[in-house]
A and B are shown apart, each in its own frame.
Chain A
């Protein structure tokens, strides 16, 4: 079966510390993968997407970066966290269906609080 895993579920980090969030998918190959952030009271903001290994598109300039070292692994990183990086981080993948119909499935999310 096709599943998406994201961890950790919650994280409290001090300002200036590094960040690494990991997302992996199972049961598929060469998926399109995405990182979104949802700040308190705000909508889902697309941060990065990847259509393949080593291919990263950045949607919003900031102190975050993403990498795709393996086909089914997507990592979100930061060298130095800011208070404004607090939020709910969601990994998603695009599920291909029939007749070019597709959907986006989300991982369970990581709630990051920068203190």
Chain B
């Protein structure tokens, strides 16, 4: 089976850096995704990691350690518009679908 855990809520201030952690347990590993979802909207793709290490995309970076079953999303220079839910997702064992964690709601205050 698969299990994906991430914190329920986090708060931070504008300009700060925040790290959202995700641990996963899967029968096989086929990649890990991070999505951003604003309230009432569909999720949008942020990053995809299949190899160990850090992937950087502007203010957002994602890290993966396959041996530890661990990933994190790093958001730098936080802006108010970064207030959203951040979803960690792993590809299922068959490689046919994404299984999501419950999401971390990030609130950015001024």
Contacts and interface: CB of A to CB of B under 8 A. Distances in A.
B43 A106 contact: yes
Interface stretch (B66-74, B75-83, B99-107): B99-107
A44 B43 contact: yes
Contact residues on A (Cβ < 8 Å of other chain), bracket: 20 to 34
Contact of B98 (A51, A104, A108, A111): A104
B87 interface: yes
Contact of A109 (B33, B42, B89): B42
30 contacts: A32-B96, A32-B97, A42-B102, A43-B87, A43-B101, A43-B102, A44-B43, A44-B89, A45-B100, A46-B97, A49-B96, A49-B97, A51-B96, A57-B96, A59-B97, A90-B43, A101-B48, A101-B50, A103-B45, A104-B33, A104-B89, A104-B98, A105-B45, A106-B42, A106-B43, A106-B44, A107-B42, A108-B41, A108-B42, A109-B41
